[in-house]
Chain A
């Protein structure tokens, strides 16, 4: 089918115009964040320098900036995801060898739409199409860990360098952990029905959905914003408010002795605490910011954040349907090991 049938041209123009208008408005708003915040502050009867005034200042500057950046990233990601349906990703990965396959799977995990409630059917779909188990794991690790909320918030609060680092390290952990799991040859630790189905899978190719037209992609981006930003904004505002309070009231080096670079044991401790914890990226970032602002080392904090987002008890329970307990333990162990490595390297290098 030709997605740009002549009859749909006016609608297509309208969608392009609306998207351009949205992007222009975004740029204008972002450029005028500081003057607007200054004006808002000037209206409040506060004396600069007091704890409370500093806290309010921090809140007024950060909230719109974070929400704006998050909206843009989630929109762009929503559009990008329309190019990568799970079916398409599976077709790209089927028959790949380990190594190159792990790298591709980790990369595709970032851009393929993924919901942890679909982890099991996705896992099965990949295996049945002949995607090697280690490659499938690379995908399953990268998809939740390197997500647009985490990247957007890191970008907004710590700048592009930390965001890029998180992306690079998240991909590395996913590639490495998936590769190790593949090398260990653990297929016998899949649940029996999983192995039977994977073997019995007929080679019948599932249809890869047709490509969309651009207006549909933009609509998907808008929908993504509505679904994600619409859901997490209260958490973000609450988080920034909490961060603002800590900002003004807790001494700067409060965390330095417990989570600073000298305390080597803080990295494994952070991972141990983080693994069973479950929250989404939006819930954890304000905590991350507060810890960093008070002297905790970046490697320790990122390790904590990765282990909270990538591994969690609810996820283990979902995966229990397809993996034997021993394999879940190995999966958690390998990923936690990778995160640990990242934390130590980070603290040593920075």
Chain B
């Protein structure tokens, strides 16, 4: 199971990213645990400077803007 965190302060792009990851994971039948991080300290602690950021199993894989569907698919 993959542990996925979406870092962002609640802008539309963050919600879209969350939904996109859910969709792709479901389509591929991958078991994930999705978490949304809105706390600024935690976001900053991950070293992300542009939101939304995506962290998989503790590693930042994306920052800034909604990732493309192809990029999300490459994570699973």
Contacts and interface: CB of A to CB of B under 8 A. Distances in A.
B51 A85 contact: no
Interface string B52-69: 000000000001110000
Contacts of A92: none
Contacts of A122: 49-50
Contact of A118 (B41, B45, B47, B50): B50
Given A117-B11, A118-B64, A125 B49 contact: yes
A113 B48 CA distance: 14
Contacts of A197: 41, 44-45
A322 B40 CA distance: 10
Interface residues of A, number: 21
A172 to B, nearest CB: 26
B51 A125 contact: no
Interface residues of B, number: 17
Contact of B43 (A121, A128, A193): A121
Contacts of A90: 49
Contacts of B45: 197
Given A113-B64, A117-B9, A86 B50 contact: yes
A126 B45 CA distance: 13
Contact of B49 (A86, A117, A321, A322): A86
A300 B13 CA distance: 36
A118 B49 contact: yes
A304 to B, nearest CB: 28
A318 B64 CA distance: 18
B36 to A, nearest CB: 14
Given A113-B50, A118-B49, A85 B44 contact: no
Which of B40, B43, B45, B50 neighbours the largest number of chain A CB atoms within 10 Å of its CB? B50
A117 B40 CA distance: 11
Closest 4 CB pairs of A and B: A125-B49, A124-B44, A86-B49, A117-B11
